Structure 1
């Protein structure tokens, strides 16, 4: 099993489309990140956990699932980095490969020391963009196949085919 731990606000601050959206609507930027991670999870088969710092949403730790993505808002006075480190330790298993997506250099090295693989925000953005392009191409191919396989027949020809289908001659 492979697990991707994502530092949510780190991605939002690094990805241009999310950063622009954050300036107007932080909640929308978070939602868009979760949507993108849902596509990533569906395409790669990885389990994805997105962690957001509490300092933007004060209070107790909150966990929920959205699009089958696990989303965690840390408790007050706990950073996303601390929570990601805890998760990397808890989820570490001989059968599990853990990836940590953050551009925080110190966090990359700490989680690498815990046995996790590092992935920068830029690397993840490039992967996500590639996946989005492949999904878009696949959808276009399917639509094209549907259009080319749908023949419009005159009523007379359709009636003849229907008789052949039933075995009438």
Structure 2
């Protein structure tokens, strides 16, 4: 893996990184998408809060079981050894958000309405581009930078502690 102080360096840090991104993402993306769908109000937001824990678990499972492995196979095909950190982050974010937004544009309405129906498939071409755009910009401008900053601060603290020994 590409070694960078703004990225996790081991499994424990990977879990922390995933938790930071997923908590930020689920708590911002879901309310925005539901608000765009049903209108922005306190009542709609309170209803959204009820499904956030379920969506968070679904997001974690999809990242670990689907998006992560798939993106892990695609990245080496596209990214070259001379490509920089920003190119890698942008492509990784683009690919992960694409995969996750496809699945969550179908699963999200099922969780929100508490029923499995064909409606998400019928509305897919209408809802997926909007969902992708919301998720992509939240990831790119909010969730990913905060998680990378946390990793950088963690590695700085580890480096200081190692030098003090």
TM-score (norm 1): 0.29
Q: Which has the higher strand share?
A: 1
Higher relative contact order (CA 8 A, sep 6+): 2
TM-score (norm 2): 0.30
Q: Which has the higher helix share?
A: 2
